[in-house]
């Protein structure tokens, strides 16, 4: 059996990359819903419909757990999907606001996310629960999703876009930047270049994979670690239900993993 991980596009590969590091013995299906990317600018009803379709696909593939590697989809649809598919462990990523506030040492915290994530009650309630000192600001960055899907990670256009969005914020007052969309992890180098030195960049991928491991371990469904000489698990990639087998597209995926490994060090 395998673990299903999905996102509206390539952003969820951030979480897949982390899962491959922590769970090399597992087999994975990665599903990018490229027909409907981006989720963050769609209506709530549309996103729920898309997520339901993906969950049914994962069930048909006999996945033992599903990870919603999309902050927007988690905020909009996770609870509804858990109620509907109660026998299937469904783990959702969400912005790492709590650890960011805890580590901020009184400095401000900026959460960057898609418009739908920012306006969903789930994130607003999370901020209300942990932000006693009103340190958190939220900023919509929908353009980064489009840049990521085009493979444009470092460019004058990306820099100009972020400079425009950050204009008006006293960035020296911030201690934490929370990446509230998995697509944003591809841009850590540009964030680093634009933000004052010392700002901590945090996302929810590591914590989400650790939660996945805890859930599977509790159910006795965590695959055993392979012997040192044994091959690790396998990944199958799908674009809105269509398996990706073409050499050029698989090469693009390999390069995305390569970039994510570079960004992991930042």
**Catalytic residue list:** 70, 181
What is the pairing mode between strands 63-68 and 28-32?
unpaired
Phi, psi of 98 (to 5 degrees): -60, -55
Question: Which strands, in side-by-side order, build the sheet including 174-179?
Answer: 136-140, 108-113, 174-179, 200-203
Q: How far apart are CA 137 and CA 135, in angstroms?
A: 7
The count of other CB atoms within 10 Å of the CB of residue 108 is 18
Q: How far apart are CA 208 and CA 24, in angstroms?
A: 16
Q: How far apart are CA 253 and CA 109, in angstroms?
A: 32
Element (H, E) at 49: helix 44-60
Q: How far apart are CA 226 and CA 237, in angstroms?
A: 22
Is-cis flag, bond preceding 38, omega within 30? Answer: yes
Burial of 13 (0-12, 13-18, 19+ CB in 10 A): buried
Cα distances (Å, whole numbers) of residue 114 to 105, 133, 144, 166, 180: 26, 24, 9, 15, 8
């Amino acid at each position: 059996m395998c673990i299903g991980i999905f996102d509206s596009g390539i952003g969820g590969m951030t979480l897949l990359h982390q899962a491959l590091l922590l769970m090399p013995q597992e087999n994975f299906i990665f599903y990018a819903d490229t027909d409907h990317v981006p989720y963050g600018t769609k209506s709530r009803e549309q996103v729920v419909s898309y997520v339901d379709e993906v969950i049914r696909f994962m069930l048909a593939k006999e996945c033992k757990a599903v990870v919603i590697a999309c902050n927007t989809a988690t905020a909009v649809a996770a609870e509804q999907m858990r109620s509907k598919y109660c026998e299937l462990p469904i783990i959702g990523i969400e912005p790492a606001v709590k650890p960011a506030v805890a580590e901020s040492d009184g400095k401000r915290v900026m959460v960057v996310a898609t418009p739908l994530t920012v306006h969903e009650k789930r994130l607003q309630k999370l901020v209300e629960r942990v932000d006693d000192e009103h340190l958190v600001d939220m900023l919509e960055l929908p353009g980064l999703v489009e840049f990521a899907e085009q493979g444009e990670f470092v460019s004058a256009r990306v820099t100009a876009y972020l400079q425009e969005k950050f204009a008006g914020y006293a960035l020296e007052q911030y201690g934490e930047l929370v990446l509230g969309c998995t697509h944003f992890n591809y841009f850590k180098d540009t964030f680093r270049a634009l933000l004052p030195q010392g700002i901590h960049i945090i996302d929810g991928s590591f914590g989400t994979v650790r939660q996945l491991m805890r859930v599977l371990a509790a159910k006795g469904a965590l695959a055993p670690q392979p012997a040192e000489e044994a091959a690790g698990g396998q990944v199958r990639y799908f674009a809105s239900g269509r398996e990706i087998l073409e050499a050029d597209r698989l090469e693009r995926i390999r390069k995305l993993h390569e970039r994510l490994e570079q960004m992991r060090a930042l």
